[in-house]
A = this chain, B = another copy of it.
C-alpha cells in the first residue's frame, strides 16, 4: 500500500484556500497511484480555529468544504481533519474528527478522545471527547486512526507537580483490540525547543508497545503565536524512525507500507541543531504572520543593541531586505558606537534606514510637564518618555507607509518587566519575546557563523537600555546566564522559590527576580503576540491572575 504524508500550511478559516491545497495534493497523489493520502488535524479549517468554532456559519462552511474534498476521492482514499457536529442532545456541540474519505464520501469517522486543555490548548472548550472506537478497513488493511493527543496518554513532564497521565483512557489500548495493521496520527503539534525529543519519543514508545508502524502527519506553518514545525514521520513497528519530512516547510512524501522495515538508529538533536531550529521557527513565525495577513513590509527601531539586531536579521530572512525600513532614534544618552553599530548592520543587510533624533520631542514633553513635576527628581518617568517617544515615531512611520512594527523585546526582559508599555513594548508581533537573552546571543553567533552580519561590537558590548547616562543592564539585574537559569526554572519548570534556592542560587537574587516576574503580569497582559518557541511562553499558554496576592 502506497501512503502519502501531506504536510501543508493552512490558513485558519480560509476554506477555499485550504480545500484547494488539499485537492491539489489529492490529484498529485492520484497521478502517482498512491492508495492513501493523509492530511493533518483540523486541516479543513486550520488549527487552532479558537472561537470561530462557535459560529454556525463557520461549521456550515466547514461541512461544504468536507463534501468538496470527498467528491475528489475516487480511486484514492484520504484522511482529513475537521470539526464535526455532535448530534446527541447532551455534550459539547462538536467533535474534533478524522474523516476517512473514499468513493466520493465520508466512509468512516474517528473522533478525538484525549482533548488537551492546558498551556495553549483549549480543546475542552469546544469539543466533546470521544468514547467509541473502531478501525477502518481499506484494501485488506486495518487502519487505526488517532488524532494528535490520542497517543499522548503518557506525557513528558517538566514540572515536579504535573502528572504524566492526564487522561483516564488510552485510545490505543481500545484500538489495538481491533488488530490494526498500522496507526495513523493526524496532528497539530506546535514547536517547542525543549520537547523535540519528547515528542518523537511518543511515537517511538507507542510503535514499540503496540508493535505497529505509525504514520504521523503534523501541520506546518505559523498561526499568530504558534509555530507548527511539521517534521511528520513514519516510525516502524520496531520504534525506529524510517523518515522525517521537512521542518518549518510544506512537504509531501510517499511511503510503501511494505518497505519500512529498515531504518537507522534514532538521533537526538544537539545544541547547535536546536539553535538552528529556533532560528527557523522565528523566521517562519514572521513570514506566516505577514503572508497570511497579506502584509508585506515591516519596520523596527534599530538601537545598536543585540535584540533589535537579531530581530532585524530574522525579519530580513522572512520578508527580504526590500520590505524592511528601519529607524535609528537616538537621544542624548545614545552612544556614538550604538549609532555606528546600527548603521553598519543596516548596511550589511542593505536595508533602508533613517535617523531621527528624538531629543527635541523628549525635551518638549518634559517642558510641558514641568509646571506639574516642578522640582521632583528625575526617575523612571523620564526614561519612559524616551521609550514612548520612540514608540510613537515608529508607529507614525508604520501608519503612514503601512510597515508593521516588529517588537524586539526578549523573554528575559519581558519576564522581569524591563520594558516600557506603549514604548519599546509596541509592535504587531514580538519576535524574541519567547527567547531568553542568552539564546539571543546564541542566535547572533549562529547568524554570523559564515560571515559577520551583526557587528561584533553589538555582540560583545555590555547590554544597555541607554535611557540614562552610563546605564548598564547589569546595574540592576544579575548576569544574564544566572538570570535566565532562574527564569527557566520558575517559568518553564514551574519550580517554587524554595526549590530554586535549594539548587544553589542566591536567595536574595531569587526572591527579587521572582517578585519582578509576578509584579509585571500587568505589562505582559498588554504585550503583542509572541512567537512561541518554548514549552511555556508568555501569552495565551500562561494565564496568571493580574490581581492576586501570591
Contacts and interface: CB of A to CB of B under 8 A. Distances in A.
A396 B365 contact: yes
Nearest to A521: B224
Contacts of A364: 360-361, 364
Interface string A304-342: 000000000000000000000000000000000000000
Nearest to A161: B56
A104 interface: no
A524 to B, nearest CB: 11
| Category for how many chain A residues contact B | 35 or more
A292 B546 CA distance: 10
A32 interface: no
Nearest to A60: B496
Interface string A109-134: 00000010110001011000000000
Interface in A383-407: 384-385, 388-389, 391-393, 395-397, 399-400
A163 B92 contact: yes
Given A368-B358, A422-B391, A224 B546 contact: yes
Contacts of A46: 548
A173 to B, nearest CB: 13
Contacts of A496: 55-57
Contacts of A347: none
A525 interface: yes
B13 A548 contact: yes
A200 to B, nearest CB: 24
A11 interface: yes
B167 A494 contact: no
Contact of A55 (B58, B161, B546): B161
A168 B90 contact: yes
A165 interface: yes
A117 B365 CA distance: 47
B544 A288 contact: no
Contact of A369 (B122, B356, B540, B545): B356
Contact of A372 (B162, B289, B397, B544): B397
The 9 A-B pairs at the shortest CB distance, nearest first, are namely A13-B550, A124-B124, A14-B549, A56-B161, A381-B399, A12-B548, A57-B496, A422-B422, A388-B392
